[in-house]
Amino acid sequence: MLSLQKDQIPNRGDNSTLLDYNEDLPKEVDWKARGAVTTVKDQGHCESCWAFSAVGAIEGLIFLKNGTVAPLSVQNLIDCARDEYVNVGCYGGLMDYAFNYTRYHGVLTDKEYPYTSYYGTEGKCKKQGGVKISALIGPVSVAVDASYLIFYSTGVITKKCGCKNGLYDLSHGVLVVAYSEDYWLIKNSWGRNWGEDGYFMLKRNDGNTCGVATLASYPILD
């Protein structure tokens, strides 16, 4: 299911080379191998990719601060990060606005607030204090043109696949969890039977393949 709310995207200027910047960076980083990434989930029929991507970035951030990681609640964001936070639950959203919500309201764990929107239904917001956000960087939320992902099974996707990288071509929120000199390793939310155990790879330094660098964002933690 693909749906990013792009009607009110914040103006960030030109960041098309954000994730292709090589100076003073290690040749490869793998947050998954370091233990900062939880297992792949399945969003089901709810267009909640934005919430899965945002939660994944926050989970990685907490791991960097505390050395442990526990699954956080995607459902919490679906039900609560809406109205003045722009998102519309199972009908789409944007990671930036999810981060803004958690800055003021926190986010509960998945155990406290489990995922119930697999079949596209939303719940009533349960507002409780959770993990608060507000400067460490780990896994990064990104948006991509997912038109080619429907056909993906394995390997590294390059710009030859025909996917686009314009702001309004982006359709799906995902999470960059690792990179090497050749590719980005990205966590999806379509279950572990899709792709490479729920992950896919995009060619790095290949002209912003599928828009991976167009709308990158990450949270900061108080």
Residues catalogued as catalytic? 49, 172, 188
**Residue 150 burial (C-beta neighbours within 10 Å; 0-12, 13-18, 19+):** exposed
Paired strand residues for 170: none
Token pair of 136 as six digits: 């460490």
The H or E element containing residue 178 is: strand 172-179
The H or E element containing residue 143 is: strand 140-144
Distance between CA atoms of residues 203 and 201, nearest Å: 7
Alpha carbon of residue 116 to chain centroid: 19
Phi, psi of 203 (to 5 degrees): -60, 135
